[in-house]
Structure 1
Amino acid sequence: MGLVLILVVLIAFIVLATTRLKLHPFLALLGAALLAGFAYQVPAVDIVKHITSGFGGILGYIGIVIALGTIIGVILERSGAAITMAETVIRLLGERFPTLTMSIIGYLVSVPVFCDSGYVILNSLKNALAARMKISVIAMSVALATGLYATHTFVPPTPGPIAAAGNLGLESSLGLVILVGLLVSFITALAGMWWANRFIGKDIALEDDGAPLLASEDYEQMRARYGTLPSATQAFAPIFVPIALICLGTIAGLPGKPFGEGWLFTVLSFLGQPVMALAVGLGLACSLLKADNKRQEFHDRVVEGIQSAAPILLITGAGGAFGAVLRATPLGDYLGETLSTLGIGLFMPFLVAAALKSAQGSTTVALVTTSALVAPLLGQLGLDSDMGRVLTVMAIGAGSMTVSHANDSFFWVVTQFSRMNVATAYKAQTMATLVQGLAGILTVWLLSLVLL
């Protein structure tokens, strides 16, 4: 019981340090790793070794992937590729299903672009469509936000899912994480859209302050600021070609060797490694550079991407350090034996992630911390197969979106840009993320009945 009490105290420390003390999650996780080492009586000489090996081990593989993915996202964001993606979806689906259209736009855009940035970029498009279709702005806002939130939480190369996959030892199975993540995130996006549809016919007063509701001509002005927009091929290729390569690389490595063992297997195995796949994506993203001095623009985008990636890399590394210290303690065996008798399986990481998310607000921190916590328990929970680990990432992802409320920056982005008051935002956005999280864990549980 004492082992569990220490764990509860450590989680409380992480939450309080990041919320009340405003300590950066990197330092909070690093501090928790040190405290865990002393509290669990790990030999003092070994504590730092576990911290450094855990930090370096996770970043040795995941670090480059996160950095490349972030740089690609910055280039796509600055080039107007997100607008091209959105307009492509509108052309394909038309305007008959407005909330579905917004949800799919968010679902696609948030694979390369952070959901906060994606919402800001697409806000004027969303408002223009709402005005043109005479649809509630709140319904369209929730549909867009939940679409963005779905892939942000479940689908690599978004940093959170990548870090969770790395903590759970899925470096060589990232393609499987992507494939399952695309399915689970699609279900959760539809769940969010279903909740958004509840507000279609409701006339809810909006706040007078906050971001203005832009009309269609304002959207055209915003669109014009990007100059000539990239083609659909240019916009989609930098993210979906790497995803395809990673998935093909995973398929090539299956025991049945579906691509044989010749040159095609070698090529796909090489290019299907996440680092190489994203390097290809970065090369494709270079076609989006517009400035006369493309070298300087590329340099600027790389610098911006590295600056955005730096805190994520530090948090991810600190999460790896925390997990490494926990793995050196008897906590895993004790909890594994206890929890295995309860039979809660995938619901355990879901509940831990949901508690962390609701308490401290950051989806990425919840993903990183929970994956570090549950990594030592996978064997006892019966989740130590590749598919078990993948579904654990999905369960953690479902928990890490449950729920978005006032301590989450994304909540305020949606609230302010949609001009919802806080009470309405809790009914619309927060409840939507609860519905998404529950739909996510239900989907994961159903998949486990078939795949495990």
Structure 2
Amino acid sequence: MQTFAAFIVTLLLIAVVTVRFRLNPFLTLFSAAILYGLLAGIPAGEVVGTAAAGAGKVFVLLAVVVFAGSVVAGVLETPGYRERIVRDLSVLLKRPSWVGAITGAILAVPFMCCMTAFIVSSPILSCLSDRKSALYAAAIGSALSFTLIYPTPVTLAAAAAAPEFSAGDYLMIALPLVLLILIGTGAAMGRGNAQTISPSEVPIAGRRAWVPLLLPLACAAAALIWPVFGDGSVQAALLFGMAGALFLLPGEERHTALKWGTRHAGVIIYDLCGAGALGGVILASSFPQDAFGLLDGAVPLLLLPLIFAILVQAAQGSRVVTAVVTAGVASSLPINPVALVLLIAAGALSVSAFSDPYFWLVGRTTGDSPTAVLRRYTLPLMGVSLVVAVAGVLAGVFL
């Protein structure tokens, strides 16, 4: 029970420090990792090294994909590119909330980061008639896509718990599920008509604006079919996609995109590594065994990875770290691989509040209070998590 007490104390302190002082997420989470380790009984001489090792594991897993995605985001900073994409979407999707949800979901995949997708889409979504509905829908859509669509970092980490995982079988369930949730999100969050962006107000690029999005997706799909570089095929594919996107730009714009993407990637990677430090210390303590021991027999076996993922997500806010930590303790469970990944994804979607940097980003962008963000972002995302969890349970029962 010592690890549970340490877990609760650390979680409360993260919430208080985050709300009261708004400290840098890396500093907050790395410090929380050291505090948790000391309270949980990890020797003082080992706790910092353990936290650093946890941060390093996340860096190894995500550095390439986050860098490539951020540079692609930098390419889309080129005047007219984002405007063209959203304008095309507005022709097909009349509600601002649908434009936001689909845009967030699409951008999160090649960028490999829901926060980057939200940052890139928010200036254009702010031009729509129902700005806040579009922004909240984009936040939910990007989190959903980032957490559920293979091969994003969350699904890559979750799939590590299932050696017999089949990407094809998983996507046959995940893709229709994501589409249905996006439709429901767009329908529930707003009813106004999307405002068309006028070419006289914004320089609209040609169809080439879609290439930086479609090229990384095509490369990633090719890597799944033909994994030339083994386990690193997806990362290599995203680098190729990034290089192709940069090649489309003139020299000066290419330099600007690369500089913007590199700076942005550094901020994201540091935040993720801070969460990785906390996740690494949690995994190094007896908390996983204590949690599973407490839950074993109290809840059905199929729900163990879901409940554990919810606890980890509430503690440190990073969906990727939630997937990494949960995969590390759930790999021995006799659960269908597709169901296991869905349940871990549901847990990673479950809590986005004070320990999640994305929560504060949404609040700053919308200008709403934390209470309003809890109501319009956190609670709907919990509903999405519940839907994914139900799909995971059904997959575990019938597959």
How does 1:193-212 map onto structure 2 within 5 Å? Answer: 193-196=186-189, 199=191
Deviation sequence 1:319-343 (CA, Å, 0-9, x none): 3332332233222222212212122
Q: Secondary structure at the match of 1:23?
A: coil
Aligned-partner residue type, residue 311 of structure 2: V
CA distance in 2, matches of 1:50, 1:338: 25
Contact 1:319 1:369 (C-alpha < 8 Å) held by counterparts: yes
Residue 77 of structure 2 corresponds to residue 59 of structure 1? no
Q: What secondary structure is seen at the aligned counterpart in 2 of 1:223?
A: coil
Secondary structure of 2:42's counterpart equals coil
1:164-243 mapped onto 2 (5 Å cutoff):
165-166=156-157, 169=160, 179=171, 182-196=175-189, 199=191, 216=196, 219-224=198-203, 228-231=205-208, 234-243=211-220
> Of the candidates 103, 106, 109, which is equivalent to residue 107 of structure 2?
109
Q: 1: distance between equivalents of 2:217 and 2:122?
A: 20
d(CA) in 2 for partners of 1:369, 1:237: 27
Q: Gaps spanning 5+ residues in structure 2: where?
A: none
Paired residues of 1:76 and 1:285 also in contact (CA < 8 A)? no
One-letter amino acid of the structure 1 residue matched with residue 71 of structure 2 = I
- Tell me how far 1:308 sits from its aligned partner: 0.9
Unaligned runs of 5+ in 1: 128-135, 202-213, 253-266, 358-364
The equivalent residue for 1:259 is none
**Which digits, 9 at most, give the CA deviation of each residue in 1:127-163, with x for residues without a partner?**
3xxxxxxxx7776665555434432444477xxx626
Q: 1:316 aligns with which of 246, 250, 272?
A: 272
CA distance in 2, matches of 1:370, 1:58: 11
1:255 aligns to what? none
Q: Choose the corresponding residue for 2:306, options 343, 347, 350.
A: 347
1:338–1:143 distance in 2 versus 1, CA, 3 Å: closer
Provide the TM-score with structure 2 as the length reference.
0.78
What corresponds to 2:76 in structure 1? Answer: 76
1:302-381 equivalence runs, <5 A: 302-341=258-297, 342-343=299-300, 344-349=303-308, 351-352=310-311, 355=314, 365-371=317-323, 374-379=326-331
Conserved? CA contact 2:154–2:345, under 8 Å: no
Q: Residues 354 and 400 of structure 1 are in contact (CA less than 8 Å); yes or no, is this contact kept in structure 2?
A: yes
- Aligned in 2, Cα 1:241/1:433: closer, same or farther, shift over 3 Å? same
- Corresponding residue SS for 1:304: helix
Residue identity in the other structure for 1:394: A
TM-score under structure 1 length normalisation: 0.70
Matches within 5 A, 1:105-184: 105-111=103-109, 112=111, 113-124=116-127, 126-127=128-129, 143=137, 146-155=140-149, 162=153, 165-166=156-157, 169=160, 179=171, 182-184=175-177
CA contact (8 A) 1:63 1:313 kept: yes
Query: Highest CA radius of gyration, 1 or 2?
Result: 1
Distance in 2 between the 1:152 and 1:122 partners? 19
Q: Does the 8 Å contact 1:246/1:277 carry over to 2?
A: yes
CA deviation string 1:160-216 (max 9, x = no partner) = x6267448847997967994654543333123123136x459xxxxxxxxxxxx965
Structure 2 counterpart SS, 1:345: helix
Query: Is the contact made by 2:122 and 2:365 (CA closer than 8 Å) also made in structure 1?
Result: yes
CA RMSD after TM alignment: 4.1
Segment of structure 1 superposing worse, 371-380 or 333-342: 371-380
Aligned partner of residue 231 in structure 1, secondary structure: helix
Q: Secondary structure at the match of 1:221?
A: coil
Contact 2:125–2:135 (Cα < 8 Å) also in 1: no
Deviation of 1:399 after TM superposition, in Å, equals: 0.9
1:395 and 1:99, CA in 2 relative to 1: closer, same or farther beyond 3 A?
closer
The alpha-carbon distance between structure 1 residues 195 and 334, as it changes in their structure 2 partners (threshold 3 A), is same
- Give percent identity, aligned residues only: 18
State the partner residue of 2:347.
396
- Partner residue in 1 for 2:385: 437
Quote the Cα distance in structure 1 between the aligned partners of 2:210 and 2:123.
23
In the superposition, relative to structure 1, how do residues 388 and 99 fare at CA in structure 2: closer, same or farther (>3 Å)? Answer: closer
Distance of aligned partners of 1:2 and 1:243 in 2 relative to their CA distance in 1, 3 Å threshold: same
- Once the two structures are TM-superposed, the CA of residue 285 in structure 1 deviates from its matched residue by 0.6
CA distance in 2, matches of 1:334, 1:63: 31
Moved more, 82-91 or 404-413: 404-413
Residue pairs, 1:217-296, within 5 angstroms: 219-224=198-203, 228-231=205-208, 234-249=211-226, 267=228, 269=229, 273-289=233-249, 291=250, 294=251, 296=252
The change in CA–CA distance for 1:236 and 1:369 in structure 2 (over 3 A counts) is: closer
